[in-house]
Amino acid sequence: MLRTNTCGELRISDVGKKVKLNGWVQRVRDKGALVWIDLRDRYGITQIFGEEGVTDKELLNQMKELGREFVISVEGEVAERFSKNDKIPTGDIELKIEKLEVLNESKVPPFKIENETDGGEDLRMKYRYLDLRRDVVRSSLQIRHRMAKSVRDYLDHQEFIEVETPVLIKSTPEGARDFLVPSRMNPGEFYALPQSPQTFKQILMVAGFDRYFQLVKCFRDEDLRADRQPEFTQIDCEMSFVEREDILQTFEGLAKYLFKEVKGIEVEDFPRMEYADAMSLYGSDKPDIRFEMTFKDLNEVAKGKGFKVFDDSEAVLGICVKGCAEYTRKQLDEITNWVKRPQIGAKGLVYVKCNADGSYKSSVDKFFNQDDLKAWAEVSGAEANDLLLVLSGDLKKTRKALGELRLEMGSRLGLRDKNVFKPLWVVNFPLLEWDEESERFHAMHHPFTSPIPEDLKKLETEPGEVRANAYDMVINGVEIGGGSIRIHNRDVQSRMFDALGFTKEEAQAQFGFLLEAFEYGAPPHGGIAFGFDRLCSLFGGSDSIRDFIAFPKNTSGRDVMIDSPSPASLEQLKELGIKLFEEK
């Protein structure tokens, strides 16, 4: 070994020991007669010390010449520090240098390798290996490692086995575009990268594997958003001979285990919420239940008083913001402008201040008297000092906008503490969703999701009303996982393909293998998949999943370090039988 210890290891009890450390030079402080080096490795930082009269002159000069990020090896004796640093675990000691060897030099790094860095996102991504030297980034990946280990421990304990499924497959319908890979040996034909291992894990159930899981890369060619990556990792799971309740219990157990193992916290049993309730109370299928502020339906009390905006609206919905009746004009204008931004899309905002003296002041006093406003307050559960915020319009849009406003108010009032975790299950999603563009129904989850048995009879007559036996795990307003009980009957699966507008031939061409497998003794089964990157970022208290991926892509889907994607040579294309499309 080139070293006896790591840079995070030595303590006061080691004083007097002769040791050898290796690491990167974080910085050199040169006070002439006294020189300090902060030496860093994955485990921490240790201070190296040299002084005139004690340290060999040449060695002292050598110390002074070290540049940032040089890789060095030092030998010396552990000594108690004169002025201690209680911010780092090695802060009581330093190494009195006796020998120094430069193992490798370094160019001056393009940004500071410290927690507070001066490097912008692009620069840090280009030099990701330098970024990864920073404590904050490395500790995120350590959380990821710990999570993966705990996931495997828990599932192994529950008799799940990890099975690898192929990466070169054919389209799996998860609602995004596929990444295609040309096949040299089959010119003009393409593999698709898996959007998920969905069909394979169901086939594994037919094969009798009973409990499967996999930490697996999935690929979706979607427009990127801040928290999306074209390739991401799922904890993918499937079980046989189960009902929904078994799956919810098993994976609630997994989440609780992770909270305990990784964060040392006990979370309560997860409440269950119907999709329909999530939408009507929170305007979202992934409600943040760290705080209340649920929607109140004001249709009955607010319509028919001559205020045309409300009278012409499908929905008049409000939220009660506790203790905010004193908001100033300026604050209310700010919130009004906030909801009018195109991302939120509300036309305006109506407010009612419930004053301390029992009177009301609203932005629509012209149309509504004190009694009217009192009725609103009663319906909303608003008391003295509360502020009512009301939006109106088309039901779907109003719910969405008010849902956003609710989250914004929650954030402004500090009700969304990152260290508080409130998981829940959202259940009974609609099976199908009408798509305006293609003018047909799409599977809300995927086409293998089973309808709730009592709704099956409506599949042909009222497809939009059929509920799915599907569930999402939601934590703090983030969808962490989703799954369903599957269809395991060939006829029901065919009816589902019909409802989705597949012709028999299309269904056969795309999923014939699965339909056929269902004819060879498919057990009842169901499963779930978790977004692993997102789960890690939630545990790490960050909004960005990129921090938890060693080599992420940027928002244009590029890896700026290796500069990919990049053009293929004409030869390569020719070999693959691909002609580039030329516009006329």
| Contacts for 531 with CB less than 8 Å, ≥ 6 apart | 232, 233, 234, 479, 480, 481
Q: Supply the minimum distance, in Å, between the C-beta of residue 429 and ligand ASP.
A: 11
Count Cβ atoms within 10 A of the Cβ of residue 53 and give its class: 0-12 exposed, 13-18 middle, 19 or more buried: exposed
Phi-psi region of 205 (alpha: psi -120 to 50; beta: other; left: phi over 0): alpha
**Choice between 200 and 351, CB closer to ligand ASP:** 200
- As measured in angstroms, the least distance from the Cβ of 448 to ligand ASP is 7
Q: Which of 388, 385, 364 is nearest to 376 (CA)?
A: 388
Exactly one of 22, 46, 198, 537 binds ligand ASP (CB under 6 A); which one?
A: 198
Instruction: Confirm if 208 and 202 have CB atoms less than 8 A apart.
Output: no
User: Using the rule CB under 6 A, is 484 a contact of ligand ASP?
Assistant: yes
Q: Is-cis flag, bond preceding 342, omega within 30?
A: no
Which tokens is 323 given? 């203790």
Task: Give burial (CB, 10 Å; 0-12/13-18/19+) of 532.
Answer: buried
Q: Is 233 near ligand ASP (CB under 6 A)?
A: no
Select 313 or 537, whichever has its Cβ closest to ligand ASP: 537
* Shortest spacing between CB 449 and ligand ASP, in angstroms: 7
Task: Specify the DSSP class assigned to residue 101.
Answer: E
Among the listed residues 403, 451, 477, 483, the single contact to ligand ASP using CB under 6 A = 483
d(CA 342, CA 284): 18
* 55 within 8 A of 79, measured Cβ to Cβ: no
Nearer to ligand ASP, 66 or 278 (CB): 278
Binding residue count for ligand ASP, defined by CB under 6 A: 9
Structure tokens at 139: 């500790």
- How far apart are the C-alpha atoms of 121 and 127, rounded to whole Å? 10
Determine, following the binding rule CB under 6 A, whether residue 469 of this chain makes contact with ligand ASP.
no
Q: What is the per-residue binding string for ligand ASP in 154-193, x denoting contact by CB under 6 A?
A: --------------------x-------------------
Task: Please name which of 425, 482, 487, 426 lies closest in space to residue 451, comparing C-alpha atoms.
Answer: 487
| Least Å from the CB of residue 539 to ligand ASP | 20
Q: Is 403 in the site for ligand ASP (CB under 6 A)?
A: no
The DSSP code sequence of 82-147 is SS--TTSTTTTEEEEEEEEEEEE--PPPSS--SSS----HHHHHHTHHHHTTSHHHHHHHHHHHHH
| In the block, residue with structure tokens 């019909």 | 498
Part of the chain binding ligand ASP (CB under 6 A), chosen from 90-98, 244-252, 452-460, 521-529 = 521-529
The distance of closest approach from Cβ of residue 181 to ligand ASP in the complex, given in angstroms and rounded to an integer, is 20
Least Å from the CB of residue 541 to ligand ASP: 25
Contact letters (x/-) for ligand ASP, 116-155, by CB under 6 A?
Answer: ----------------------------------------
Task: Kindly tell me which residue out of 324, 402, 459, 529 binds ligand ASP, with binding defined by CB under 6 A.
Answer: 529
Of 176 and 375, which has the nearer Cβ to ligand ASP? 176
Smaller CB separation from ligand ASP, 147 or 529 = 529
Choices 244-252, 327-335, 372-380, 477-485 (CB under 6 A): range interacting with ligand ASP: 477-485
Nearer to ligand ASP, 238 or 372 (CB): 238
Angle between helices 275-282 and 395-412 (to 10 degrees): 70
Q: Which stretch binds ligand ASP (CB under 6 A): 117-125, 384-392, 476-484, 556-564?
A: 476-484
Those residues whose C-beta lies under 8 Å from the C-beta of residue 581, and which sit 6 or more positions away, are none
Task: Report the distance separating Cα 106 and Cα 117, nearest Å.
Answer: 18
Shortest separation between residue 536's beta carbon and ligand ASP, angstroms: 17
- Taking the complex as a whole, the smallest distance from the CB of residue 234 to ligand ASP amounts, in Å, to 6
Q: Give me the residues that bind ligand ASP (CB under 6 A), please.
A: 174, 196, 198, 482-484, 527-529
